[in-house]
Each structure stands twice: as structure tokens, then as C-alpha cells.
Structure 1
């Protein structure tokens, strides 16, 4: 499990409005594209600077491709990163105030302490 890579995906997608919409509409395609084209770029460096070894596990790829924040949390993805991205993508689908956030929390309610380690 590469918590770093999953968190990097969540962070970079959340900071680009067009990429956020792309991920909402085509999650599997966005995950595949991002892993192939963006995963090995070094944050805050020139485009030519890349690593060569980062890749999602099958479980990470599936959770990202299905918008499964519960599995991502269980794998150690930072909950603030998933929450802010999910707000950007799904808050508009709920009529009541804080509906998305309440749904997000309800889906995680079965989890108890100690929570998964979110350190990277």
C-alpha cells in the first residue's frame, strides 16, 4: 500500500477543477490516466523530473476507480483529503444541508478506534 501515492492522487485531483470533474464523470479512466501520466511526477518540480517506481496496488486502484472512500480510509488514505474531494464532487447531489458530509460519516460509522494509521 502506498498511502503516499493515494494521498497524492486525492490531493492533486482536488486542486484542479477540471480534473475533479473528470474524476467524477470517469473515475476508472481518470485513475488509469493519472497513474500512467502523473503518478511519478515529483510534486512542485519541473515536468521533466519524474520517478519510475510508483504504482497503485489493485486494491487502491479499485477503491479509487469506484469512489470507495470507506476502503480508502481503511487503507490509510487521509480522511481530510477524501472528504474535501468528495465535497467537491458529490455535495451537489444532496438536497439537505450537509447531506453529503452526513452520508460520508454514516458510511464510516462502523469503524471504531483505533483508526487506521494515516501517516505517510
Structure 2
């Protein structure tokens, strides 16, 4: 898994409210668009500065398209990146305060130390 690329996806989507909505409503299209147009952009550089070798694995694509934060965590995606993005996308679907955050944690409750390595 390219933890760097998955974390870069989560980070860049979370920083743009329009992309958050796009990813919520059309995860397949957003993941495909991002991988094709954004994955190889070098952070902090002009648009013409690009690499050519970065791509998601099938497993990463599936987890991103399914909004599967558990699978992403198990693969090594940084939990703070998934949590902040998924709060922006799904907290509104819950009536109780912190209900989404609690559900997020409960979905990860089966995991125990040592957690997957989240360094990139």
C-alpha cells in the first residue's frame, strides 16, 4: 500500500469543502478523477511539476470508494485524516452530538495494539 498516496488523498479532499461534498456524493468518480489528475501532483508545486508513477492499488481504490475507514486504517492510513474527513462527510447524518465519532471508534474496536504502522 502507498500510505503516502492514500493519506495525500484524504488530506487534499478534506481541505476543500467542494471536494468533500463531491466525495460524499460520488466516491467512485471522485477517486477516479483524483487519481488521474491529482495523485501525481507534487504538493506545494506548480501544476506542471508532476511525478508519473503514483497510483492506488485495487484494495486502496475499493476502500476509498466504499468510504471504508476500517479497511483504510488496517492498511495504514492515518486515522486522524480519515476521522476529520469522515466527520465532515457523515456527522450531519447523526442526531446526537459525537454520534459519528463514537460509531467510528466502535467500528475500530476489534483492533488491538500494536496498531498498524501509520508512518509514511
Normalising TM by the smaller chain, what interval? over 0.9
Give the equivalent residue in structure 2 for 1:70: 70
Correspondences of 1:9-88 after superposition (within 5 Å): 9-88=9-88
Q: Which runs of 4+ in 1 moved over 2 A?
A: none
TM-score by length of 1: 0.99
Provide the C-alpha distance between the structure 2 equivalents of 1:28 and 1:102, rounded to a whole number of angstroms: 26
| Alignment length (residue pairs) | 120
Structure 1 position 108 matched with structure 2 position 108:
yes
Structure 1 position 118 matched with structure 2 position 113:
no
Task: Measure how far apart 1:29 and its partner are.
Answer: 0.7
TM-score by length of 2: 0.99
Structure 2 unaligned spans of 5+: none
Provide the C-alpha distance between the structure 2 equivalents of 1:28 and 1:104, rounded to a whole number of angstroms: 21
Provide the C-alpha distance between the structure 2 equivalents of 1:88 and 1:82, rounded to a whole number of angstroms: 10
Question: Which whole-Å deviations, capped at 9, do the CAs of 1:74-113 have from their partners, x for residues lacking one?
Answer: 0000000000000100000000010000000000000000
Provide the C-alpha distance between the structure 2 equivalents of 1:106 and 1:12, rounded to a whole number of angstroms: 26
Give the equivalent residue in structure 2 for 1:95: 95
